[in-house]
Structure 1
Amino acid sequence: MQNMGFSCRIPCVKPLLNNRQRQKRLVWTKGWTAAEWSKVMFSDESKFCISFGNQGPRVWRKTGEAHNPRCLRSSVKFPQSVMVWGAMSSAGVGPLCFLRSKVNAAVYQEGLEHFMLPAADQLYGDADFIFQQDLAPAHSAKATSTWFKDPVLNWPANSPDLNPIENLWGIVKRKMRYARPKNAEELKATIRATWALITPEQCHRLIDSMPRRIAAVIQAKGAPTK
């Protein structure tokens, strides 16, 4: 197999898309320019844990020392975690909102009121913009749809590959790889400090990638993309 160019790797994890969802992604694709995408405020939630799985420093050890106490990294059964909501545009990022563990429509609307609207003022001022959210139950609830005065951007299901804010979450988590918060409050402080390091230039580059993301979906015939 190696001589034929194959190598054994852990599979990439992507959302499961059925044929109907792939077709909807293809129908959804927009021929917008990067300038048109700059009018969209992208949003998303992400979960942060005190334990970051396999991320973190490695250890130097000899054969037979795998279980030596100085070579171990402690884990806990139920690590403390926080759920964070954030928003971005080509002009930068908005303020973070730390949500309760159970995000229902009422909790989500409260976050929109106190964090999305100030983010819109900060990022767009008096200019028009389009709000993006995915199809999570709290987002697509009838009460949430009623809360919005203007329509939000139509969004295909199971499509994190189309949302540039996913890249920002990845950047934040990579920067926090070596952080060692001891409790939820220290974790929140670390997230805030790292989020504040995101530059408008980074956001602008991610928004500029939207036409390429759309092209990749078309080329993949609606399947998940890189």
Structure 2
Amino acid sequence: MGRKPIDPFARAQIVALHNAGFKQVDISTHLGKSRCCVQNAIRKFKNHGHYNDMKRSGRPKKISGSDICYLKRLVRGDVRLSASKVTSELNISLSNPVSVVSVRRYIKDLGYEYVVKLKQQWLSAKHRQRRIAWCKQYSSWTCDDWRKVIFSDESTFYVLKRKNLCKIRRLDKEKLLPECLEQTNTGDGGKVGIWGGISGNGITVAKIYTENMNSNLYCDVLQHELKQSIQKIRKKNKIIFQQDFAPWHTSKIVKQRIRQMKLNVLDWASKSPDLNPIEMLWSILDKKLAAKPIYSRTALKERLEEEWNNIDQDLCIKLVESMPERIQKCLAAKGGHFL
């Protein structure tokens, strides 16, 4: 068992009393310290000139040098083994085997975290080429040009499940408190879909629905919500409409409805949700919905409509004006994902 460390202030007192002419026995009695402590404090000050503890070498590291480099190779790249597999591979090259706990500690010290992989849409070489071609085609557009575009999309929200991971700070003993639990249920408690759009003029009228989106429902959205939103804009002839390549967007009856409405549709690159600024809005809406508990589909519809109508116009403009930056990031990533 190691010796109990002495406070640097107490060492300073010992040295001061010693310099004042007090005997070591009297200093020990006066300060309540052992004779050995008094002697060591005086000797340390004479040899080193300070009262602080000396740096200790500590226990020798079990993994160092080339073994650390090998450990890095095992936890990065395409394989990225688990701690138990890393330990098995690492112990083959070590003279003294280490435990899984030690390997986890070393991996953590290297800055690696054990987290779930982020989901990302797969892109083929053709998809990347088309994304790059699209970005080059519209790289000369200014923020004023992008403000004329209505970016649209659909999203689905659930009663008992949020899109974003809900994280809180709590003690271990608080884990079963109501405010520290996220309610779940079979079927996620029901779902509600929403169609909406944003532009330099703010948000469009939203369509909130409980059935699955299809071509007929989307035609109804174009005829009512989109048309109503365009009518509120003064310079209607300069409005450009954006949509992705969802199956109901490219059906024959939808194409016919678009021709009837004489919509100027923006050419779009397939599999490019990260280029659409409205995608950021769905995450913002989800955070707002998570602020209050929702227990029914009716309540979810009401909250969705309320939060959509409360979206700030400046936020929409900021998201739309981020298009030039998004295009440059996509080009820098050579057509790959950049968010």
Structure 1 and Structure 2 fold alike (TM over 0.5) = yes
CA contact (8 A) 2:208 2:305 kept: no
Structure 1 unaligned regions, length at least 5: none
Matched, 1:111 2:221: yes
Indicate the structure with greater helix content: 2
Matched, 1:145 2:255: yes
Task: Give per-residue Cα distances to partners, 1:94-144, cap 9 Å, x unaligned.
Answer: 111013422211111011111011111224553521100010000011221
- Paired residue for 2:155? 46
Mapping for residues 23-102 of structure 1, pairs under 5 Å:
23-29=129-135, 30-31=138-139, 32-53=141-162, 54-55=165-166, 60-62=171-173, 72-78=181-187, 79-102=189-212
Distance 1:72 1:208 in 2: 38
Change (3 A) 1:198 1:73: closer
- Paired residue for 1:19? 125
Task: Give per-residue Cα distances to partners, 1:192-214, cap 9 Å, x unaligned.
Answer: 11112211110111111100000
- The TM-score with structure 1 as length reference comes to 0.90
Change (3 A) 1:187 1:124: farther
CA contact (8 A) 1:42 1:133 kept: yes
Distance 1:213 1:124 in 2: 28
Distance 2:168 2:111 in 1: 31
3-state SS in 1 of match to 2:305 = helix
CA contact (8 A) 2:143 2:321 kept: yes
Change (3 A) 1:165 1:72: closer
The worse-fitting range, judged by mean Cα deviation, of 52-61 and 147-156 is 52-61
Mapping for residues 168-187 of structure 1, pairs under 5 Å:
168-187=281-300
Distance 1:13 1:164 in 2: 19
Percentage of identical aligned residues: 31
Change (3 A) 1:124 1:175: farther
- Paired residue for 1:133? 243
> Which protein shows a greater Rg?
2
3-state SS in 1 of match to 2:221 = helix
- Equivalent pairs, count: 223
Distance 1:165 1:122 in 2: 20
Structure 2 unaligned regions, length at least 5: 1-106
Task: Give per-residue Cα distances to partners, 1:133-176, cap 9 Å, x unaligned.
Answer: 01000001122111112341111111111111111111111111
- Paired residue for 2:279? 166
Over aligned residue pairs, what C-alpha RMSD do you find? Answer: 2.1
